[in-house]
Amino acid sequence: MRSGYAEEVVLGWSRDQLVSKYAELLVQGWDPATVVRSVDPELEKARMAHDKEMERQKNELREKELNAERERNELERQKNELREKELAAQAEQRAADAEQRELRKAELIMQERLEREKI
């Protein structure tokens, strides 16, 4: 490709053809270390603009993914907080129910004692 052949042409060659063309270039005095590829400034600007746009889009997508992850984490935190409150309320209710049963039990015992004393 550095020697002036189109990339599509070179990519279509077999290994033997590539070696043969390379040998021909070496015989002609071609030095691979000194060959400089010409650069079309407009093409290079377009490539750089494209690369920059791709990077911007990639960063934008990454930011959206991070925001979505933050939202999921916040929802999960709120869900866990609500669940903890529900569990605490259930525990309080069980404790209140147990206390109520104990009071009722003590009340029944007192009634029994009073009835025995009457007898």
79 vs 44 pLDDT, higher one: 79
Closest of 37, 59, 40, 36 to residue 48, by C-alpha: 40
42-70: pLDDT as tens digits = 888 999 999 999 999 999 999 999 999 99
List the chain domain ranges.
1-38, 40-118
Closest of 47, 52, 6, 3 to residue 24, by C-alpha: 3
pLDDT surpassing 80 at residue 35: no
Q: CA distances (Å), 13 to each of 5, 19, 23, 30, 53, in order?
A: 11, 10, 14, 20, 34
Q: Which of 16-20, 80-84, 90-94 has the lowest mean pLDDT?
A: 16-20
* Confidence at residue 34, expressed as pLDDT on a 0 to 100 scale: 63
* Confidence at residue 2, expressed as pLDDT on a 0 to 100 scale: 55
83-118: pLDDT as tens digits = 999 999 999 999 999 999 999 999 999 999 888 888
